[in-house]
Amino acid sequence: MRIVLANEKNLFEVNELIKKINLNVEEYHWVISDVTLTMLHDRQNQSHSEVMPDYTDFLFLKGEHFKKFLHDYSYSFIFAVLTALPRHVDHLNISSIPQIEDNERYWNVNYTPVIPQAVFEIGFFDSTDVIFTGDQNILSKFRKKADFISFEEYLQTP
């Protein structure tokens, strides 16, 4: 299943998005990949680029560490993919890393997460679109919390 946020301007900030859809990040391990031009601000609104530099291929974070990052910093991504994995998946079992920028396959209606164990992915594209891909039951719950459209509708939007 694929859905896209619609008419939700302030949800490009990861912290606000997670609050809005009531996502408990501690339930998963996370892969953060294909990060371009991250905007990170601490609680005093100071910018921090050293926390997640652009040259990082990916980060693997346990849910509790991601929760701490979200507590300490406000995140906005120009491009990035956040992948939620079951807690039993170890970073050594990951052989492919999701990519949204310059990835034609990502725009296929039938795209599925490249990490087979993924529960869902959240793709941030060019500061304008937030695309969810993954488990239908989980995405259906998110769909009740915010304004989403189907991926098919999104592709037909001018």
148-150, strands of its sheet edge to edge: 58-62, 28-42, 73-86, 120-125, 129-134, 2-5, 148-150
Average the pLDDT over 69-82 and give the result.
Answer: 83
Average the pLDDT over 5-16 and give the result.
Answer: 77
pTM score of the predicted model: 0.87
Residue 38's pLDDT band, with cuts at 50, 70 and 90, is low
In what helix (H) or strand (E) does residue 88 lie, and over which residues does it extend?
none
The fraction of the chain above a pLDDT of 90, given in percent, is: 56
